[in-house]
Chain A
Amino acid sequence: MNRHAGLAIGIWLGLLLIAAWSITQARFTADLAAFLPRSPSPAQQVLVDQLRDGVVSRLILVGIEGGEPQQLAQISTRLAQQLAADDAIAYVNNGAEDQLQADGEFLIEHRYLLSDAVSPQRFTVSFLRKALEGQLDLLASPMSMVVSRVLPRDPSGELLHLFDRLQEPGGPDKRHGVWFGSQGTRALLLAQTEAPGFDIDAQQAVLERIRAGFDAAAEEAQAGDAELKITGPGVFAVASREGIKADVIRVSSIALALVALLLMLVYRSPRVLLLTLLPVASGAIAGVAAVGLVFGSVHGITLGFGATLIGEAVDYAIYLFASTVAGSTPGKALQRIWPILRLGVLTSVAGFGAMLFSGFPGLAQLGLFSLTGLIVAVAVTRWVLPSLAPAGFSVRTVDRFAPRLTAVLDVVRMLRLPLYALVVAALVWLILPGKTVWDDELASLSPVPESEQKLDESMRRDLGAPDVRQLVVVRAPDRQAALEQAEAVSAVLGSQPRRVLGGFDSPSLYLPSERMQRARQSALPGEARLRANLRQALEGLPFRGNIFEPFFADVERARKAQPMRRADLDGTGLALRVDSLLVERRGEWAAMLPLRDVADEAALAQALAGFDQTSVVLLDLKRESNAVYKSYRARVLTFALLGGSAMVILLLVALRSASRTWEVVVPLLAALVVTCAILLLGGTLNIFHLVGMLLVVGVGSNYTLFFESGEVGDEGRQRTIAALLICNLSTVIGFGALSLADTPVLQAIGRTVAIGAFLSLVFAAILTEREPV
């Protein structure tokens, strides 16, 4: 071993240690939002924020099944108590308490500042008269017991109006005092975590405590058959991280075992086998470390790619060892094959590198990981492996089967015409209209199994959680401005007839802007006026005249009160509602006004047209998320094409020949077309199939390139072909193992690349023109 080699090994080991250390510092995530665009439109930004850490992302839905309703109710009650005492949980409700009733005192206290019915007219003689007549009707109704008590404080009926306004529609049924769903077989509980949905570690800790709490409560209720069902975005995130982790471990083990077996058969040397795996391992470690350093966290999907790297980065070492002729050294072989190896890596890098600039953090991670991994793997192959290889090593197996392989190739070449026919047929079929090519649901990216999604849907239905699809988003520089703008929008929404809009919610209902509160205060008359007006209004009505002192006192107090601030709401259900509808993000405030039963969206848009369209946005979440997905797909496609073009230019420059470049590119294109057709036969395509195609280009280009520019000379050519076959087998094994993953993302990529890479080699073998030897 010379000094250079020693230096190279030293640098390699040093960098490896640093990378390994930095991995131990990295945070691992699995949130889907990483696969959403980084610089979206304002409307999309709201969507992305909501998915990442909105209140919706913090919801945990808990179902308790499999026992007597009485037992389930008991468990629900006990669990709710435990969760209420948990600092990590902001809010829990199992229906045992009616939030509005609990807030009764607060609402009475602040009714004149909260009620949108307060106006100067409300306290005139004629309005008071009308209100009192209404109260008289109520005294004859089932509500008299309450009305007669509140009447002396509230003859204008402000409290009743507030209750009507704040009451949430729907809600689940109750049995034994708690929420039940699913025809009374499942007790329901709703919890909201303090931590955002993307903080998987925090979510996982909360879930574990919910499970432990359930176990204890079930034991206490002696309900051995009771089962816990948990769902929600945080639950999904935790489950998918676990799923991805399990997949990565399983897939990597399978891939590693099969590749090792294959190489053992070929090399018959454990040492060389280990050496072959060195570039892969180094590449994977460097890739993860690079992603962790650049992005701050490593996505689970990125780790899933570790398995694919086994399939691809192993190629360089195989190519090196298979090319080492008996009696020579790997170093000599390397000198021969290095130019083509280098070109191969560069083309792959061009393909993967495109992903770096895609604007989607998740995809950029994949790009950076692959890019770093490949460069490190080839560098290790180039500078570290030759000096570590045993002296006099050559792959004898290759000597034996290479000639036979070449013979097979000559036969295979006769398949050129049928292959062209196949490709044309596939192309025509692809172009023919009438089939759904793309699955444009954002949900199709979700790593959550369908059964879990069904459970989630059913529990949401049970809880009567209105599926917020449409909302108005109001953006403003500060909280007060956001509230004021929300009030202006509310006024417009409130004036819409039922045939346009069923109803809406707004943070300003729970926390009016200070300006609005002051306006309401100034609408309240002075005590003398109020007394005179009420006296006049009472004439001829059967009320006792002297009972309304509390009313005068309350109005007078409200007139002089300080406007409510957010902190005044602490401990009430109103606080929760305000916080979920009014959020600060990057120094800017957004108020959300969810809409119910939008019947005429065009009319609604028309009504809102008077507002500044950059600060008031009417948003359809489902449509928007699918639009995000579509634009995402379009961008991935663009970057795939850019990557492909970069690759072609690189080949043109390196090979200095259009016809040779053509030779390399044609088998690849044919492979892509046929792969596409095969995948479409099995269903629709999603974004990850597209990413898979990009990988096919990156991997497949190496095969076609090596095929086209293999070493001259009979024996060299035979060796090239043998090496390529081994490389290809290992790639197909790597990605084939990935297609066994349960995570849809990994499965899609694995399937695409396994098929594509295999076809690239076969097609290259059939289509590449060979000079007569």
Chain B
Amino acid sequence: MISGRTRVLVVSLLLLCNTLVANAQAQEQPARADEWGIDQLMQELAGTERASARFVEQRFLKVLESPLELTGRLVYRAPDRLEKHTLTPKPESMTIEGNRLVIESAASNRRRVVGLQDYPVLWGFIESLRATLGGDLQTLERFYRVELDGRPGAWRLSLAPRDRQMSDFIRLITITGAGGWISKVEVHETHGDRSVMRIYGDTP
């Protein structure tokens, strides 16, 4: 509880070669294109080895008069490492690898290490992004009822928490993307707060 439930929401950059491989597969099996669904999306997402991107996150909180804006970088490395480096308003970084969450705050010079299994809500929350990035449908379904809308070029995943404890905090998470790319993560909290994180690829 102390280390809280994060609002990590991240994204990944599909490496060029992965896109190419995916395209190649699509070309080989044109007849199956109309059968696109969650399995295909996950397979495509799972192809990502490494990704790094900028993010801009807005938090609409009931306790604040105006939204809070955070900017920074997201880094993902398959299979289970996710980093969120917030640069403004306050430098802070979170690194998740396996079951460990490390939070480092440059301003207060503090470092916390948290076992995800001690904080099931936080864990589930982190998996909404990490398991999506890794194309790990099994883990996603362990925590959420998963629904997919749209088409390969513009899709939206809706994640509704299964666990009672978790749904005390989170009502719904939606992840929007195109192909193997995630562009937006929206978190709707149960008591009305909301956050939107947009993810931008690095301009070459």
Cβ contact within 8 Å between B64 and A544: yes
Also in contact, A139 and B59, with CB within 8 A (given A149-B191, A164-B2): yes
Also in contact, A173 and B115, with CB within 8 A (given A140-B90, A142-B103, A146-B5): yes
A141 contacts partner chain B, Cβ-Cβ < 8 Å = yes
- Minimum CB–CB distance from B165 to chain A (whole Å) comes to 10
B92 contacts partner chain A, Cβ-Cβ < 8 Å = yes
Task: Annotate A628-664 by CB proximity to B: 1 below 8 A, 0 otherwise.
Answer: 0000000000000000000000000000000000000
- Minimum CB–CB distance from A173 to chain B (whole Å) comes to 7
- In the complex the two chains form, what is the Cα distance from A342 to B66 in whole Å? 103
Task: Annotate B1-33 by CB proximity to A: 1 below 8 A, 0 otherwise.
Answer: 111111110000000000000000000000000
- In the complex the two chains form, what is the Cα distance from A526 to B81 in whole Å? 50
- In the complex the two chains form, what is the Cα distance from A9 to B61 in whole Å? 97
- Minimum CB–CB distance from A766 to chain B (whole Å) comes to 73
Give the total number of A-B pairs whose CB atoms are below 8 A apart.
Answer: 88
Interfacial residues of chain B within 160-194, with CB under 8 A of chain A in the complex = 169, 189, 191, 193
Interfacial residues of chain A within 96-143, with CB under 8 A of chain B in the complex = 98, 100-101, 104, 137, 139-143
Also in contact, A145 and B62, with CB within 8 A (given A137-B90, A160-B2, A177-B117): no
Chain B residues, CB < 8 A from A160: 2
- In the complex the two chains form, what is the Cα distance from A770 to B89 in whole Å? 104
Chain B residues, CB < 8 A from A167: 2
B118 contacts partner chain A, Cβ-Cβ < 8 Å = yes
Q: Which of A101, A141, A174 contacts B117 (CB 8 A)?
A: A174
Cβ contact within 8 Å between B115 and A174: yes
Cβ contact within 8 Å between A140 and B89: yes
B132 contacts partner chain A, Cβ-Cβ < 8 Å = no
The winner among A101, A148, A164 for most chain B CB atoms within 10 A is A148
Interfacial residues of chain B within 66-118, with CB under 8 A of chain A in the complex = 66, 68, 70, 86, 89-90, 92, 94, 99, 103, 105, 107, 115, 117-118
* Closest chain B residue to A149, Cβ basis: B191
A610 contacts partner chain B, Cβ-Cβ < 8 Å = no
- In the complex the two chains form, what is the Cα distance from A174 to B100 in whole Å? 11
- In the complex the two chains form, what is the Cα distance from A145 to B170 in whole Å? 9
Also in contact, A141 and B4, with CB within 8 A (given A544-B63, A547-B63): yes
Chain A residues, CB < 8 A from B94: 142
A438 contacts partner chain B, Cβ-Cβ < 8 Å = no
The winner among A100, A139, A152 for most chain B CB atoms within 10 A is A139
- In the complex the two chains form, what is the Cα distance from A288 to B163 in whole Å? 63
Cβ contact within 8 Å between B107 and A137: yes
Chain A residues, CB < 8 A from B59: 139-140, 144
- Minimum CB–CB distance from B61 to chain A (whole Å) comes to 5
Q: Which of A146, A164, A542 contacts B64 (CB 8 A)?
A: A542
Q: Which of A142, A177, A542, A547 contacts B3 (CB 8 A)?
A: A142
* Closest chain B residue to A176, Cβ basis: B117
- Minimum CB–CB distance from A423 to chain B (whole Å) comes to 65
The winner among A104, A144, A175 for most chain B CB atoms within 10 A is A144
Also in contact, A140 and B70, with CB within 8 A (given A145-B169, A148-B193): yes
Task: Annotate A340-382 by CB proximity to B: 1 below 8 A, 0 otherwise.
Answer: 0000000000000000000000000000000000000000000
Cβ contact within 8 Å between B70 and A143: no
Cβ contact within 8 Å between B63 and A148: yes
A543 contacts partner chain B, Cβ-Cβ < 8 Å = yes
- In the complex the two chains form, what is the Cα distance from A98 to B121 in whole Å? 13
Cβ contact within 8 Å between A174 and B118: yes
Cβ contact within 8 Å between B68 and A140: yes
Chain A residues, CB < 8 A from B5: 142-143, 145-146
Chain A residues, CB < 8 A from B68: 139-140, 542
- Minimum CB–CB distance from A145 to chain B (whole Å) comes to 4
Cβ contact within 8 Å between B6 and A142: yes
B202 contacts partner chain A, Cβ-Cβ < 8 Å = no
Chain B residues, CB < 8 A from A148: 61-63, 193
Interfacial residues of chain A within 166-209, with CB under 8 A of chain B in the complex = 167, 173-175, 177
* Closest chain B residue to A155, Cβ basis: B63
B35 contacts partner chain A, Cβ-Cβ < 8 Å = no
A to B CB contacts below 8 Å, 19 in the list: A98-B119, A104-B1, A137-B90, A139-B63, A139-B68, A140-B86, A140-B89, A141-B92, A141-B103, A144-B7, A145-B7, A152-B63, A163-B1, A167-B2, A174-B115, A175-B117, A542-B65, A543-B65, A544-B62
B residues contacting A by CB (< 8 A) are: 1-8, 59, 61-66, 68, 70, 86, 89-90, 92, 94, 99, 103, 105, 107, 115, 117-119, 125, 169, 189, 191, 193
The 3 closest A-B pairs by CB, nearest first: A143-B4, A142-B6, A145-B5
